[in-house]
């Protein structure tokens, strides 16, 4: 099956730093790829570059047959008819001066999808699909809670009936009891509208829950990708292993078990260089000079399990 999204050697450079450094991956139609990484790993930049919201410095991003990689300006507009984004901060992602109806009507008008009664019908259907009543339409964002705002943000992405959505930390700003509502909503919409997701989060448990396949990002590079079950059962990259070891679990017995496996002390290898493996400085398995000489390529260690490590 041809992938819906194909990203090849995508790089985004800001001033001197490479936020995204030669990233490649595919997403099959109907699949959810979970992208996980710590703050500053470049996962949000990658998400924005994939849909062309940020023009890439080099490389390709082909979504639904449209190559947007390094395009700027209105050339990207054609893609957004079919690829949309759900943002992180429900307080920043809605224009405070626009009613819900106006916010939802924007894409319909700009893309010339529908107008008048037809647009009205679409707006109603979409907001209701996202779990808000039509009575919400004439109101302003400030009248809604964080969770409700996130529903509005999802409706805005959904209204063009895209087939691909980048969800950038869609639940991390929400309270725990609200997170589950939004995760469930995104999963319901996926099956109802046949969506494909790139789901970005720093929460490993959320990523495990929503993803078919998971990509782990560290300092601008993908270090491991695998089907969710495989990755969580047998992580191969030392960084993935560290991440998974670090997360406490809400079960006292399991937590005691986890802590037994954690060595605790942080590793610092002074031999690491900028040319080598990005994780070399913190890696407990690093061997020098191999790890400081050359950055390892992402390569298949098992079918569908790619790891970027010299020794994994």
Partner 1 sequence: MKTAATLPTPWFAPAWLVRFLRSPISTVVGSLLVLVVVAGVILAPLITHADPMALSSDTLLEPAWAHPMGTDDLGRDELARVLYGGRASLVIGLFSALLSVILGMTIGMVAGFFGGAIDETLMRITEAFQILPKLLVAVVVVSLIGSGLTNEVLVIGLLSWPATARVIRGRVQVIRHEEFIAAAEMSGASWLRVLVRHVAPNVVSFLLVSASLQVASAIMSESFLSFLGLGDPAHPSWGLLLQQGQLFLSDAWWLTTFPGIALAMTILGLNLLGDGVSGSRIVAGSRR
Partner 2 sequence: MSEPVLSIRDLHVSFPTATVVQGVSFDVMPGEIVGVVGESGSGKSMTARSVLRLLPKSARLGGSIRFRGQEVLDMSPADIRAMRGALVSMVFQDPMTSFNPVLRIGDQIAEAMTLHGQKDRKTLSDRVASLLASVGIGNPKARARAYPHEFSGGMRQRALTAMAVANGPALLIADEPTTALDVTVQDQILQLMRDLNATSGTAILLITHNIAVVASLCRRLIVMYAGRVVEDGPTDEVLTAPRHPYTWSLLQSVPRLDRATGRLVAIKGQPPDPAEPLAGCKFHPRCPWVEERCTRDEPPLEDGVRCWVRPAL
Binding stretches for partner 1 (CB under 8 A): 48, 51, 53, 74, 77, 80-81, 84-85, 87-89, 92-98, 106-107, 110-111, 153, 156-157
In the complex with partner 2, which residue's Cβ is closer, 2 or 268? 268
CA distance 70 to 56: 5
Find, among 306, 298, 278, 25, the residue nearest to 166 by Cα: 25
Binding residues among 250-309 for partner 2 as defined by CB under 8 A? 250-255, 259, 262, 264, 266, 268
Question: Which listed option, partner 1, partner 2, none, makes contact with residue 251 (CB within 5 to 8 Å by class)?
Answer: partner 2
In the complex, least distance from residue 92 CB atom to partner 1, rounded to whole angstroms: 4
CA distance 120 to 155: 14
Where would I find the H helices in the chain? 43-50, 77-80, 100-110, 116-129, 146-158, 176-193, 204-210, 228-233, 238-246, 252-261, 290-293
Per rule CB under 8 A, is residue 234 in the interface with partner 2?
Answer: no
Helix %, strand %, coil % of the chain (to 5): 40, 20, 40
In the complex, least distance from residue 121 CB atom to partner 1, rounded to whole angstroms: 19
Q: Write out the two tokens for 54.
A: 């940020």
In the complex, least distance from residue 82 CB atom to partner 1, rounded to whole angstroms: 11
Binding residues among 131-150 for partner 2 as defined by CB under 8 A? 145, 147-148
Q: Write out the two tokens for 175.
A: 């309270």
Spell out, one character per residue from 187 to 216, where the chain touches partner 2: x when CB under 8 A holds, - when not: x--------------x-xxx-xxx------
CA distance 102 to 105: 5
Question: Which listed option, partner 1, partner 2, none, makes contact with residue 281 (CB within 5 to 8 Å by class)?
Answer: none
Handedness of CA 207, 209, 211, 214 (dihedral sign): positive
Question: Which listed option, partner 1, partner 2, none, makes contact with residue 176 (CB within 5 to 8 Å by class)?
Answer: partner 2
Question: Which listed option, partner 1, partner 2, none, makes contact with residue 300 (CB within 5 to 8 Å by class)?
Answer: none
CA distance 88 to 39: 13
In the complex, least distance from residue 298 CB atom to partner 2, rounded to whole angstroms: 21
Q: Rule CB under 8 A: which residues touch partner 2?
A: 38-39, 145, 147-148, 175-181, 183-184, 187, 202, 204-206, 208-210, 229, 232, 242-255, 259, 262, 264, 266, 268
């Amino acid at each position: 099956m041809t992938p819906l999204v194909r990203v090849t050697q995508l790089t985004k450079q800001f001033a001197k730093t490479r936020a995204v450094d030669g990233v490649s991956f595919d997403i099959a139609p109907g699949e959810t790829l979970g992208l996980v990484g710590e703050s500053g790993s470049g996962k949000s930049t990658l998400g924005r570059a994939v849909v062309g919201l940020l023009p890439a410095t080099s490389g390709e991003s082909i979504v639904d047959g449209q190559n947007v990689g390094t395009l700027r300006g209105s050339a990207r507009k054609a893609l957004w008819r079919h690829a949309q984004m759900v943002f992180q901060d429900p307080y920043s992602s809605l224009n405070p001066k626009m009613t819900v109806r106006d916010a939802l009507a924007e894409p319909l008008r700009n893309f010339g999808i529908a107008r008048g009664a037809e647009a009205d019908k679409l707006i109603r259907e979409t907001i209701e699909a996202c779990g808000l009543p039509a009575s919400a339409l004439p109101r302003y964002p400030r009248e809604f809670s964080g969770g409700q705002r996130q529903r509005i943000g999802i409706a805005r992405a959904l209204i063009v009936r895209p087939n691909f959505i980048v969800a950038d930390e869609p639940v991390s700003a929400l309270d725990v009891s609200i997170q589950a509502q939004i995760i469930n909503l995104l999963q319901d919409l996926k099956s109802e509208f046949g969506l494909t997701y790139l789901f970005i989060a720093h929460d490993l448990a959320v990523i495990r829950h929503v993803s078919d396949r998971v990509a782990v990002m560290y300092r601008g590079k993908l270090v491991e990708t695998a089907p969710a079950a495989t990755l969580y059962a047998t992580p191969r990259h030392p960084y993935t292993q560290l991440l998974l070891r670090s997360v406490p679990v809400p079960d006292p017995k399991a937590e005691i078990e986890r802590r037994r496996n954690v060595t605790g002390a942080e590793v610092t290898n002074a031999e690491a260089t900028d040319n080598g493996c990005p994780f070399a400085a913190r890696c407990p398995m690093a061997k020098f000079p191999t790890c400081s000489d050359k950055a390892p390529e992402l390569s298949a260690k098992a079918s569908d399990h790619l790891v970027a490590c010299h020794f994994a």
